[in-house]
A and B are shown apart, each in its own frame.
Chain A
Amino acid sequence: MSTILEMRDITKEFPGVKALDRVNLSVKTGEIHALVGENGAGKSTLMKVLSGVYPHGTYDGEIVFDGEVQSFRTIRDSEAVGIAIIHQELALVPLLSVAENIFLGNERAAGGIIDWRQTERRAAELLERVGLNESPKTPVGDLGLGKQQLVEIAKALSKDVRLLILDEPTSSLNEQDSEKLLSLLKEFRRQGVTSILISHKLNEISQVADTITVLRDGSTVSRLDCSGGISEDDIIRDMVGRALDDRFPPREPTFTEEVALEVVNWTVHHPIDADRIVVRDVSFHVRKGEVLGIAGLMGAGRTELAMSLFGRSYGRDISGSAKINGQPVDLSSVRRAINAGLAYATEDRKTYGLVLEDTIRRNISMAKLDAVADGMVLNRARETEVAERYRERLNIKSSSIEQETVNLSGGNQQKVVLSKWLFADPDILILDEPTRGIDVGAKFEIYTVIRDLAKQGKAIVVISSEMPELLGITDRLYVMNEGRFVGEMPTHEASQEKIMARIIKTGERVT
């Protein structure tokens, strides 16, 4: 097999930090090449070098694509030779149609006049190739995330792509859509399109990858050939530089019989479409010292349940009652919910969790600013001390507490969000997808924090789409589907199959 891409001794420095240190990457024609590494290992930087986001001259080393040394100055240059990147955050215009999005910037036109017939015909062909059964006229905003991703891929294909780079393509997809995407990659392999897959999901990687390159701290650690089969543990060992015997901290049940939060008959309507019921008649409780999991597919209503509880941040016509420590509580505003002892760490840290342009220090103190102030006047020394304490306790990798959170890796951003809520000192902490898009090492650290909190007697509710995670850290589980709670089980009796069975069975009943 020939080599399509060769990146040699790539070194990229930012002021004060060497992000890449003589990294080598060699990709064979027609393979699926996985690029793995912890957050901050340099995967995204490497791909930005490759695609011309960081222009030639701002880095050292050379890129050989198709046997020729390349010096990309812009993304257009790299696209011209057939390299396409699909980023984690999709770059689609929601109000434009599928066809318009596919040919955006590359319109099927003659003399500036768009040929709509050709546009739609070509779009339909591309949609068929990616296996998306939708009309080219559908506005992209009406499609789910999984389908939007396919539109993105169709867009890349429209430019005669030869090397497709996917940055965490499945991080926000449910299992079904992920499965579909992976089989599409395999289909591309048959057609001779080379792919680079960046992912944290090791089970997916071991399923589809032909070769794996592992990065750690800006250097290439190893290049693994998967033809003879590869175990996830081998990958993890190379990623973190040590063998990770256990992906979850030991679980000693620490829960008591005292109920911390009890919710009865909670019902939430959609904020715009008031007739639609998003959460229907949900009742549950969580005990002190317990880690409770809520399992379910995307769109089951788990985030909506949590946000409607937390100061009615979602939905309308909310009914039902909530008791904390046996007392009825008023959760009608976020401030009141916090004061009642509730906290909610969002699934979408960039949009709802952090003020990205602000420093670590300012983000950590945000939810409990009064505690670092004398009256109205901020006490800078106390605030600094608090931020330093959490930076150390949660091992937030950063140059200092004065670093802007926008420059942190996903795992460290998540730790800042967690720090904010730990500092607010709630009795009940709801964590929505606490490890989404973060690496194995950081995940373990976050699990450890969760167990520690339980040990201190806090009640923790974990919402997660990763079932192994729920099975690994919780004490008890609820299963949610289509706005209802459809099952409850102690975690030691649960399995992925059992959970899925609950979901599928109730799905049949409803339809």
Chain B
Amino acid sequence: MSETVDRGGEAPAAKQASASWRFLKTHLREYGILFALIAIMAFFQIATGGILLRPVNLTNLILQNSYIIIMAVGMLLVIVAGHIDLSVGSVLGFIGALAAVMIVNWDMHYLLAGILCLAAGALIGAAQGFWVAYFRIPSFIVTLAGMLVFKGLTLWLLAGQSVGPFPREFQLISSGFIGDPFGMEGFNLLSLLIGLGVAAVLTWLAIRNRQAEARTGVPAEPFAFFAAKTALIFFGIVWMSWLMADFRGLPNVFIVMALLIAVYSFITSRTTIGRRIYAIGGNEKAASLSGINSQRLTFLTFANMGMLAALAGLVFAARLNTATPKAGATFELDVIAAVFIGGASMAGGVGTVIGAVIGAFIMGVMNNGMSILGIGIDYQQVIKGLVLLAAVIFDVMNKKKG
């Protein structure tokens, strides 16, 4: 077959152009999602007359979506493994309530309470994962039950009341910003330096990876694409951190988020455990017969999801500065939507952490932009629903063509 590929005497330039085109066609999905985010941001930036990317709004945007993104990272693993978790919104609410009861009502130290909450979240996830992994109860049903159970337990724990406020230190999780040792007036230099540093490291990693690919002869993306993408990411990060430095600097929760994204990206793309999760999502029978312990891995992805839902619960409670019985309702839908917009497949085995994060940002930017424009919540829901549908239709069509 390899001879037929190079058949024909095209001129080198035309050949290169067609190679680029072919590459773009096969990788449309990966670039498409990034372009979609940029296009949506550009649209709202213009439509809102520049409000969208004002430092204060950008900071808000991140704070508003942090808990969705944190959960989307965990959900990505669950969906890649071929399952779903509908309980995360309720678990988020429940952990918020648990934190409020421990910190506000029992005067427990917030650090200890935070650790206990994370452990409780992991335990909840493990309990659900146990039934899914070892008894093969469909995850849709187990977590639907979990959703109802923890919604009820939240109500019970709070006795139907809101509990708050939290001590100031606890609030800082989501309303705090990193300090600035440079002490410049109205500009957080450290934030900008962190942004520059991260951008530089990412660029360096990208170049190193490309060199490694070239050495082992893996077909790499055309150089123009590589350069454009890397430059875009570099300047995008630097610019964002400049904007935020101009306000109050990087929010604490942003650092947490960035670390999670980095760690989970690494786990999914570069470690044996990540690879095995993709394998069980792709074909569990084949994976099991290759000696992969699919039950344990499924169990772990759910435990991990529970822990991240608990972390999101702490962030959300700290942001609202109170725990309410309604907290977290329908969040699971936003999280799942983000993962699917980000290119994951319902059947499992496909999806990336970065895709899920971009998916969450697409939803977040649309929420934020439409609110600024004064579009009612009714239309917002309709538009978000259609975007989700369009993204998945695009995916399916794209796959059929390939």
A and B bind: yes
Q: What is the bound-complex CA distance between A369 and B2, given in angstroms?
A: 29
Q: A17 within 8 Å of B by Cβ? A: yes
Q: What is the bound-complex CA distance between A443 and B237, given in angstroms?
A: 55
**Contact (Cβ within 8 A) A402 B350:** no
Q: Report, as a range, how many residues of chain B touch the other chain.
A: 20 to 34
**Contact (Cβ within 8 A) A352 B216:** no
| A contact face: mostly helix, strand, loop, or mixed | mixed
The digit string for B279-305, where 1 denotes a CB below 8 A from any CB of A, is 100110111111111000000000000
Q: B231 within 8 Å of A by Cβ? A: no
A403 nearest in chain B by CB position: B1
Q: B181 within 8 Å of A by Cβ? A: no
Q: Tell which of B194-202, B270-278, B319-327, B363-371 binds the partner.
A: B270-278
**Contact (Cβ within 8 A) A355 B289:** no
The digit string for B334-368, where 1 denotes a CB below 8 A from any CB of A, is 00000000000000011000000000000000000
Tell which of A16, A344, A357, A398 touches B22, judged by Cβ atoms closer than 8 Å. A16
Q: What is the bound-complex CA distance between A351 and B219, given in angstroms?
A: 29
If A18-B4, A367-B291 touch, does A358 touch B278 (CB 8 Å cutoff)?
A: yes
Q: What is the bound-complex CA distance between A239 and B216, given in angstroms?
A: 35
If A15-B22, A354-B283 touch, does A369 touch B276 (CB 8 Å cutoff)?
A: yes
**Contact (Cβ within 8 A) B286 A354:** yes
**Contact (Cβ within 8 A) B4 A16:** yes
The digit string for A24-45, where 1 denotes a CB below 8 A from any CB of B, is 0000000000000000100000
Q: A110 within 8 Å of B by Cβ? A: no
**Contact (Cβ within 8 A) B285 A352:** yes
**Contact (Cβ within 8 A) A334 B288:** yes
Q: How far is the CB of A399 from chain B (nearest CB, A)?
A: 6
**Contact (Cβ within 8 A) A358 B215:** no
**Contact (Cβ within 8 A) B286 A351:** yes
Q: What is the bound-complex CA distance between A218 and B285, given in angstroms?
A: 34
**Contact (Cβ within 8 A) B286 A355:** yes
If A18-B4, A310-B289 touch, does A355 touch B282 (CB 8 Å cutoff)?
A: yes
**Contact (Cβ within 8 A) B283 A369:** no
**Contact (Cβ within 8 A) A366 B292:** yes
If A17-B1, A377-B271, A397-B1 touch, does A353 touch B288 (CB 8 Å cutoff)?
A: no
B25 partner residues in chain A, CB cutoff 8 A: 15
Most A-side CB within 10 Å, residue of B4, B217, B273, B289: B289
Q: How far is the CB of A163 from chain B (nearest CB, A)?
A: 28
Q: What is the bound-complex CA distance between A364 and B291, given in angstroms?
A: 13
Tell which of A40, A334, A335, A384 touches B216, judged by Cβ atoms closer than 8 Å. A384
Tell which of B5, B278, B287, B350 touches A17, judged by Cβ atoms closer than 8 Å. B5
Q: A376 within 8 Å of B by Cβ? A: yes
B5 nearest in chain A by CB position: A16
**Contact (Cβ within 8 A) A376 B1:** no
Q: B256 within 8 Å of A by Cβ? A: no
**Contact (Cβ within 8 A) B287 A381:** no
The digit string for A130-145, where 1 denotes a CB below 8 A from any CB of B, is 0000000000000000
Q: How far is the CB of B210 from chain A (nearest CB, A)?
A: 12
Q: How far is the CB of A240 from chain B (nearest CB, A)?
A: 16
Q: What is the bound-complex CA distance between A89 and B278, given in angstroms?
A: 26
Most B-side CB within 10 Å, residue of A16, A310, A362: A16
B278 partner residues in chain A, CB cutoff 8 A: 355, 358, 362
If A16-B4, A376-B273 touch, does A353 touch B291 (CB 8 Å cutoff)?
A: no
Q: How far is the CB of B219 from chain A (nearest CB, A)?
A: 6
Q: How far is the CB of A121 from chain B (nearest CB, A)?
A: 40
Most A-side CB within 10 Å, residue of B2, B7, B270, B272: B272
**Contact (Cβ within 8 A) B270 A358:** no
If A16-B22, A384-B216, A399-B5 touch, does A335 touch B291 (CB 8 Å cutoff)?
A: yes
A373 nearest in chain B by CB position: B272
Q: B218 within 8 Å of A by Cβ? A: yes
**Contact (Cβ within 8 A) A420 B290:** yes
Q: B212 within 8 Å of A by Cβ? A: yes
If A334-B290, A338-B291 touch, does A380 touch B282 (CB 8 Å cutoff)?
A: no
B22 partner residues in chain A, CB cutoff 8 A: 15-16
Q: What is the bound-complex CA distance between A397 and B4, given in angstroms?
A: 13
**Contact (Cβ within 8 A) A352 B5:** no
B285 partner residues in chain A, CB cutoff 8 A: 351-352
Q: A330 within 8 Å of B by Cβ? A: no
**Contact (Cβ within 8 A) A377 B282:** no
If A338-B291, A367-B291 touch, does A402 touch B218 (CB 8 Å cutoff)?
A: yes
**Contact (Cβ within 8 A) A366 B273:** no
**Contact (Cβ within 8 A) A369 B275:** yes
Q: How far is the CB of A37 from chain B (nearest CB, A)?
A: 15
A367 partner residues in chain B, CB cutoff 8 A: 290-291
B273 partner residues in chain A, CB cutoff 8 A: 376
Q: What is the bound-complex CA distance between A377 and B2, given in angstroms?
A: 33
**Contact (Cβ within 8 A) A378 B271:** yes
Q: What is the bound-complex CA distance between A18 and B5, given in angstroms?
A: 8
A335 partner residues in chain B, CB cutoff 8 A: 291, 293
Q: How far is the CB of A4 from chain B (nearest CB, A)?
A: 32
Q: What is the bound-complex CA distance between A352 and B287, given in angstroms?
A: 8
Q: What is the bound-complex CA distance between A378 and B267, given in angstroms?
A: 10
Q: What is the bound-complex CA distance between A351 and B282, given in angstroms?
A: 11
Q: A265 within 8 Å of B by Cβ? A: no
A400 nearest in chain B by CB position: B219
B270 partner residues in chain A, CB cutoff 8 A: 377-378, 380
**Contact (Cβ within 8 A) B290 A357:** no
With A313-B288, A351-B285, A362-B278 already in contact, 14 other A-B pairs whose C-beta atoms are closer than 8 Å: A15-B22, A16-B4, A333-B293, A334-B290, A353-B289, A354-B286, A355-B278, A355-B283, A357-B282, A366-B292, A377-B271, A378-B270, A381-B215, A400-B218
What are 11 A-B contacts with C-beta separation under 8 Å? A16-B5, A17-B1, A310-B289, A357-B282, A357-B349, A366-B279, A366-B287, A369-B272, A369-B276, A377-B270, A378-B275
Listed from nearest, the 4 A-B pairs whose CB atoms lie closest are A355-B282, A367-B290, A335-B291, A355-B283
On B, residues with C-beta under 8 Å from A are 1-2, 4-5, 7, 22, 25, 212, 215-219, 270-273, 275-276, 278-279, 282-283, 285-293, 349-350
